[in-house]
Amino acid sequence: NAGVTQTPKFRVLKTGQSMTLLCAQDMNHEYMYWYRQDPGMGLRLIHYSVGEGTTAKGEVPDGYNVSRLKKQNFLLGLESAAPSQTSVYFCASSSTPGGNYVDTEAFFGQGTRLTVV
């Protein structure tokens, strides 16, 4: 059981280039999330999805777009990369939206280290 798988694991981009990060989960989770992790900042939510075909903005959405065409996949796109987007990106998924549900856990992938030069 792979859980949450992110592709690629490492990438170096030049300023202005575009790329797509792929997240795939095999746990049949409805909810998926994209975070970025920066030193001294913890994890910050970029975008999330509450089901196939839906997306919503998180805390730091500017410069990113997402799509959820299939339930198991959540794509994060950078249309024109900037050095400020140098970060480690994590995808996560959960079976519930949180709150009072007993099973409230977000499962994370291994991360994608992106450097924009």
Partner 1 sequence: QQQVKQSPQSLIVQKGGIPIINCAYENTAFDYFPWYQQFPGKGPALLIAIRPDVSEKKEGRFTISFNKSAKQFSLHIMDSQPGDSATYFCAASPFSLSDMRFGAGTRLTVKP
| Binding residues for partner 1 (CB under 8 A) | 4, 31, 33, 40-45, 48, 50, 56, 58, 90, 92, 94, 96-100, 104-106, 108-111
Give the nearer residue to partner 1 in terms of CB position, either 10 or 80: 10
Give the nearer residue to partner 1 in terms of CB position, either 17 or 22: 22
Cβ(17)–Cβ(72) below 8 Å: no
CA distance readout (Å), 63 to 23, 29, 58: 18, 26, 12
- Whether the bond between 61 and the residue before it is cis, its omega within 30 degrees of 0, is no
Min dist. Cβ of residue 111 to partner 1 (A): 6
